[in-house]
Amino acid sequence: MFRCARHLILIILGVHAAACHTCSVEYSSQGPSLLFGGVSSRCVSGCQPRNRVQPNDWGNVCAFNPNGTVWGVCTAHQARNSFEFAKKLGGGSILQLSPCDLVPYLRGRTLWLIGDSHSKTLYRALQCFLYDFWGQSECDISTDPKDVQDFSKQPAAAGVSNCFHLAGAGGGRVCIIHVALTSSLVNSAEVAGGGILPLLRQRLASPQDIFYVNTGTWHRKTPQWAAEYQPDLEGLGQYYAATKDAWPHMLFRETPAIHPADVARNVCLPLDGYSYDPASGALNLQASVNDTAAMWASSYGLNAVLRETLPRFGLYVVPGYNMTAPLVDNHVGMRNTPALDCLHYCQPGQPEAWVWYLYNAMREGRAGIQALPLSSSNGSMHKFSSSSSTKARHNTHKPRDSSSTRTAAPAAKVKKASLKQVLGPGHYACTPSTIRL
């Protein structure tokens, strides 16, 4: 009832909101913000067990105990610093965000998180925020092992993949596919199907799915990969523009700041000359910040190229950098890890802000994303697999010129040739989930 009443209030105020879905989980009105750890203590009905037997049980992981030994959890000091910035997002509305607000946008579809370890961190943040909507088991992305193998075969780094399935009416799932280089997304001779995105659309995805992409960090590693970033983004933008009528729901997220590592002292160093305004979300650079190489290394240069390129093709770029620039002390650092880490961000903090940025983009209807009506999201989804009959596969997936921008088969034809089944963990190879990066 609370969820539907809130939906009515939002409509009266003229705020775009998801169609009213009854939430199967209830949280108390008192306690820490649900997004920043309150899920662990505030659930009163429809809750998943808070198992805390082993250190890496999700009950321990998502409790965000600053005195524990779970990798990637912030100290109390780190959590406060990040929270002071993040709590201003949406005029403070981030503090009221509930899993019940996010889940309607995920029902009846797959949210594909495609990218490097920052996407894995977001995946982990979603697992904690949506704790009560999945059973702490992760599943393969397909019922066909060949699909899993083909997505794994990528240059630079293996494409490790996993999904967690949402319980309750309408189903839905969140999947992660590790992609190191932007060149692996489309127009690739080194990835099956010509790239991760066309391969997904040929075999596993449906037009109502959401593709949330973040690549960039690996393009800092070599001069060749750095030089390829802009043309690779151009190729992605062209692909999106050519296919968005049939596959509209794609977003690209900025890469967060990477701070210099002083390995001699085992500390992360600040980015001098960067000033963040929490009220406006703006990042101001002093005139002294003019070292192109240093700006590229910190990811500022990556995001400048990103914002100059993708919007020209109508591909929306989700914020993810500005707030991280001053948060030098919010990296994993040396906490519960053998090597200094000035790349990844601890929880609760920036990963939770990324959850809000994603939710806000969906709430605003970016890339045409809307919550699917319960009548269309309830009970089944289309699953595309290379295990479908050879005839169907040949009729649907025609060979394409690897030198040209690929376009997906029309949605109606793909649906007709696909294997329709209930999307549930019972159809997939699923195992108890453990925390990983």
Read off the pLDDT of residues 289-312 as tens digits, 9 standing for 90 and up.
989 999 998 999 999 999 999 999
Work out the pLDDT band at 37, boundaries 50, 70, 90. Answer: very high
Q: Which residue is associated with the tokens 């070599």?
A: 222
What does the pLDDT look like over 64-94, one tens digit per residue? 999 988 889 999 999 999 999 999 999 999 9
| Euclidean distance between CA atoms 224 and 274, whole angstroms | 28
E-strand ranges in 80-160 read 110-115, 137-139
Of 111, 123, 103, residue with least CA distance to 168: 103
Domain ranges of the chain: 19-377+422-432
pLDDT at 54: 81
Looking at residue 5, its pLDDT comes to 47
pLDDT of residue 224: 86
Q: How would DSSP label each residue in 175-231?
A: EEEE---GGGTSS-SSSGGGSHHHHHHHHT--TT-EEEEE--GGGGS-HHHHHHHHH
Question: Residues 123-150: pLDDT tens digits?
Answer: 999 999 999 999 999 999 999 999 999 9
What mean pLDDT do residues 273-292 have?
A: 92
Instruction: Please say if the pLDDT value at position 370 is more than 70.
Output: yes
DSSP 338: S
H or E element in which residue 232 lies: helix 223-243
Q: What is the pLDDT of residue 63?
A: 94
Over its C-alpha atoms, the chain yields an Rg (Å, rounded) of 21
The CATH homologous superfamily to which domain 19-377+422-432 belongs is SGNH hydrolase (3.40.50.1110)
